[in-house]
Structure 1
Amino acid sequence: ILLEWIRFRSGCVTRELTFDLGKKEDKLHLLLGLAAIAVDIDKAIRIIRNTEHEADVVPNLERAFCITKIQAEYIADIKLRNLNREYLMNRIAEHKQLEAEIADIKETLRDELKLKAMIIKSLQEIKKKYGKPRRTDIVEKEEVKTPKEDIFFENYNCRLVMTRGGYFKKLSVQSVRASDEQKLKEGDYVVYQEDTDNRGDVLFFTDKGQIYRARVADFELSKASQMGEYVPAKLQMDDDEHVVTCKMIYELIPEHHMVYVFENGKGLRVSMGAYEAKSRRRKISGAYSSDSPLAGAIYEGDKPVNIFIRSDSDRGMLIKSSLIPEKSTRTASGVQIMKLAKKSKVDLVTDRIEDVGQDALKCKKLALPSTGSPLGQLTFNF
């Protein structure tokens, strides 16, 4: 590219110099004509004054002083008051400088090195006048890291489904249209479902206080009529470690939060910025408190979300996520948000209010902690 630019720029400079050379040679030619009449100015004036016809002035000057037609026309057009020795001598004095400039241009056109020196000088002047500090770093060829082929994948729309039993499905749009009824093991139910695409990452939250991160593209397309992939086995989780829920993300946004609710009724919000790291980690240990088993994890984006919490003593409450305090330490135990009876525990945490039903609105609470409301005949789609 640089060599091609140098060739192009050399051509431009050559054309500029050739144009200047022509203009200077034309001017020198006229000055030499002035030098010819300077020998006898009075004779030139007489010819101009005494010639009967205007058309004969130029030919008469040509013959009298042995000059060209162009020189004669130039002299004939000079105002009479300028046809004096002082004016002519001042103009003729320019011819020595012109001859030097013409010689220099011709020398530059013949010498490629001088031509390139002109280009360099021009670039230095531009740099001095318009130059700004470099905004990017120059990376040596040896420092360039070639991306691994496995990070390139096809992107398409899909639906992600996670069950409480640890099964994960990535469904194509066609599969969702064909059937929306999920095949589940007896007693299993859907804890997470989202329509997204194949570009993001999935965070899997386990009952051991750990988060596993995997690409959506790492999972094969499944069907609603299939069980899906068993996440603990696929991600090689620790023995007796189970997935509680999951969430798809494109990036970790510090202004967003994870809301954790534990079986002992405590809960907290943790900024997603708490999980930022210099390198991409497959497993994040100590992601949240393990003092009590995790009952549920809900993602809170730009706005607070509705969360339904149920205890095994048949009580429940519907709250806004913003009621739950944020903690700067991600392993904090949290604060009591649901008062539990002795030996009772939280057994359900969900933001899928449509699966709880409209009767969940009767359990709405505006202050924490709360014992919740008796659920009675409330029907759940779990």
Structure 2
Amino acid sequence: MEKGIIEVLQTEMLDFTAPVLINNLPSIDGLLVSQRQVIWGMKKAGMTSDKQFYKMLKASGRIFDYYVLGDMPLCGVMKNMGNNYILHKYLMPKGSFGNKNFKKSKGSAPRYIECKLDAYSEYMLEGINKNAVTMKWNYDATEKEPILLPSKIPNILVNLRMSIAVAEANKMPSHNLEDVCTSLKSYIKTKDIDKSIELIKVPDLPSGGAIIYNKNDFEKIYKEGNGSFTIIGKYKYDKSTNTITIYEIPYTTYLENIEEELESKLDKFSKEIIDYHNGSDKDGLKFELYLKKGADVNAVIQKLRKFTSFESKFACNFTILDLDGKTPKCMSLEDIYVRWIKHRQTCIENELKFDKDRYEKKLHQLKGLEKILNGLDKAISIIQNSETEEDAKNNIIEIFSLDKEQAEYFLTIKLININKGFIGNKIKEISNLESFIKDIENTLSSEDNINNIIIEQLEEVKKKFSKPRLTDIIYNDKVEKISNDMLIEDFTCTLILSKEGYFKKTRRYSETQKLKEGDQIRTIIQCSNKDKAIFISNQGNAYLLNLWEVNEKQPSVIGDYLLNILPLERDETIIGMLSTNQYKGYCVYCFENGKILKTPLKSFETKTNRTKLSNSLTDENGLVLLITQIENDTDIELTDCFGKTKVINTKDINEKASRKSIGVTVFKSSKKDWKVVSAQVIKQ
């Protein structure tokens, strides 16, 4: 029987997609399914923080009651639960569990390392024995496991997680536990999410570093559930040895990445760095840069930020499974708070109901004892004279007006304790039990009362697990902007433009420049590598090119064909070249109709990084004979077709603000077919 593609997708793919989503996205307790199974499996096996360490291989074997994806993936999960991948370890490690700062540091084999549950995980389990959360059967219906942990700790924001599911992903940074608890308390009391965002500050990452604080970025992250922020590493400078030591790096990179990037961009650091050395060991990161005498330390740091992942972005995606445990949703901070509070309210209500049921059962049993207290002799006589245990129970129920549960409780008391002293003391508990039950009922009757319990628990969490911040906060106004002046090597270069449109930048000036056969030099300019080149075309366009982005050529090389490096139109050719950095001085055009246009170089300056400026030259003046730039006024000699010449100083030419202005007439004649045939700057 044939099936349509939609039907196949629905019946086949959805069955695959659903468990993948559930297994690879965190729930409101901040755990993936595999992490929850590790914590629960080790708890059930008694591998708690107060016990000895257990070989990971042995511990993983006890977790296979719940985990079915193989031993190697499981041990990988367990290593990440006990190393510096997260702020608060779920497992207490012994041995090498790997190091997040190094790409190849995967830790030792499971047979060599040991672990047990950390107190942090045990605290997340508190209340589970009071039916705080729903349990489900494991994969073969032999054991039960929790769908969620009670998690008094707001772990969803405290510990970092990154995971990918089918068409969904999650990437949530960790936050300082004390900040999260303070922020949550504020939200429970005020429902003011803006105040809570202010109190949570910014993420606190296990690798340290420093976060550049941008209010708009973090408002987007916390109000929309996605966005990114910038992290930079930390360094110290030793003046006595003229050495920079990097000791913390962004969470999103590895030290090997920075080393490889530095090696590939070593030419950018040639003015400042002699050598570098990775001296990292078990005590931490230690990547040393040995500087040349007089090197600018700040310039080195700016270049590291620009050319390596010493500065990098952390892209956030707060996609979490909703409280139903199966619906992925990109959540804002407020969404997370609302759901975590609802989860905790449900857990506390379940725990209180568990206690209430236990107290009510005990109270009911003791009320039966109260009825028997004044007839103990009779009760003993009934037991003695009964034929069977069942007869004794039925007779006690009938004589003392008890129910089955009360009678069974009385009959389980040891004979030696069936006396007025023991039973009297038991009955005294009735008033306490009634008081406990009333208190629970009062608590359950008000959401505010339950919220107060959550606030008290958050305070307890802070006292038990708070740590100082690892990641510093740098405010925007304190961060030096990366400028091109710091990053670009400065040297004098020579620019050569040929008449056939070949261009080259050479560091070594030479009187003899190789050209294509039959070609001639149109323009030669000496300038700085930090300048921009401006090319003027016959169609009135100007093209801007950053010289530091142009490869150097030797004088013995023809150069690059401009059509290959500039977005020229069809039949468009370059007729002139300028260079500038500060846009000082003027551009001077000389035309065959005897006009000269003097316009400030400032007219070529753009606020955006555009490469093409249209309307840079009017076509009303006819053919362009000369394009040159001047900072100081100079003489220009014009020669007409009849051999007559005229010299004019540029100070006598009025400045025009627009690049497309009509020039000023400086040379004219009434003769037929007259025109200017050459123009040149007279060198002083």
Higher relative contact order (CA 8 A, sep 6+): 1
Which entry has the higher C-alpha Rg, 1 or 2? 1
Q: What's the TM-score, normalizing by structure 2?
A: 0.28
